[in-house]
């Protein structure tokens, strides 16, 4: 019996280290492992070299509805469903694999990473709680994250109908001025 608990603890430590490297917050680590908060704090400091960030996890679905987060969240959901269907993975394993694919995709197109692992994990929890769902865009046919129970019969995604202020951040303004002669 003791060997089983030692093995479980070793697996939880390995899982926690992997999640920390991917950017998981403490609340996610506590929910996904059986390790004590003190042990997780020590692991976090050992892996990252700093204390974990403080603060609450996102608890509102609204973040996922704004233009850029919605695009990234919708991409992640497509990857998550792909991993579930074709790799046979479920739960946290599917989330981690889909998140790695998301990161690879973002890096290959040299895009800004918008979705953190903790946000991706929260997104799945919102879907499981039926607070969010997917809707098919009537223009492009893509699947996008929407609030549950919102009317979706005439849904048009943020890529087909880009908001006027989309992508106009201080960061893009600075990048644009760097390109000027």
- In this prediction the pTM is 0.86
Closest by CA to 118, choosing from 13, 15, 14, 22, is: 22
Tell me: is residue 140 an annotated ligand-binding position: yes
Task: Specify the DSSP element, H or E, that contains 143.
Answer: strand 143-147
Q: Which CATH class is domain 62-171?
A: mainly alpha
Q: How high does pLDDT run on average in the chain?
A: 91
Q: Does residue 139 have a known ligand-binding role? A: no
Residue 176 scores a pLDDT above 80:
no
What is the pLDDT at residue 174? 52
Residue of 57 and 21 predicted with greater confidence: 21
Give the three-state DSSP class for 101: helix
Q: How confident is the model at residue 177 (pLDDT cuts 50, 70, 90)?
A: very low
Mean pLDDT in residue range 117-137: 97
* High-pLDDT (> 90) share of the chain, %: 81
What per-residue confidence (pLDDT) applies to 1?
54
pLDDT at residue 179, rounded to an integer: 46
> What are the two backbone dihedrals, phi and then psi, of residue 143, each rounded to the nearest 5 degrees?
-95, 130
3 has a pLDDT exceeding 80: no
Tell whether the model's pLDDT for residue 9 goes beyond 80.
yes
- Dist CA 27 CA 44 (whole Å): 12
pLDDT score, position 165: 74
Q: Which residues contact 34 (CB under 8 A, 6 or more apart)?
A: 8, 9, 12
CA–CA separation, 53 vs 110, rounded Å? Answer: 26
Spatial CA neighbour of 34 closest among 58, 54, 55, 5: 5
Q: What CA–CA distance (Å, rounded) separates 84 from 81?
A: 5
Q: What is the pLDDT of residue 172?
A: 53
With a cut of 50, say whether residue 125 has pLDDT above it: yes
Instruction: Please compute the mean of the pLDDT values over residues 19-31 and round it to a whole number.
Output: 96
Region 63-78 average pLDDT: 97
């Amino acid at each position: 019996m003791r060997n089983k608990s030692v093995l479980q603890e070793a697996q939880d430590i390995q899982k926690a280290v992997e999640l920390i490297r991917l950017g998981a917050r403490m609340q996610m680590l506590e929910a996904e492992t059986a390790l004590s908060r003190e042990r997780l704090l020590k692991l976090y400091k050992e892996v990252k070299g700093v204390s974990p960030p403080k603060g609450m996890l996102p608890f509102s679905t609204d973040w996922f509805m704004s233009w850029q987060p919605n695009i990234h969240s919708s991409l992640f959901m497509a990857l998550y469903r792909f991993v579930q269907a074709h790799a046979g993975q479920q739960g946290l394993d599917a989330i981690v694999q889909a998140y790695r694919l998301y990161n690879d995709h973002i890096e290959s197109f040299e895009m800004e990473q918008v979705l953190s692992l903790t946000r991706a994990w929260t997104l799945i929890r919102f879907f499981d709680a039926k607070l969010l769902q997917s809707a098919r865009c009537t223009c492009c046919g893509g699947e996008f994250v929407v609030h549950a129970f919102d009317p979706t019969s005439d849904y048009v995604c943020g890529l087909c109908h880009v908001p006027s202020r989309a992508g106009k951040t201080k960061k893009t303004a600075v990048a644009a001025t760097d390109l000027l002669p």
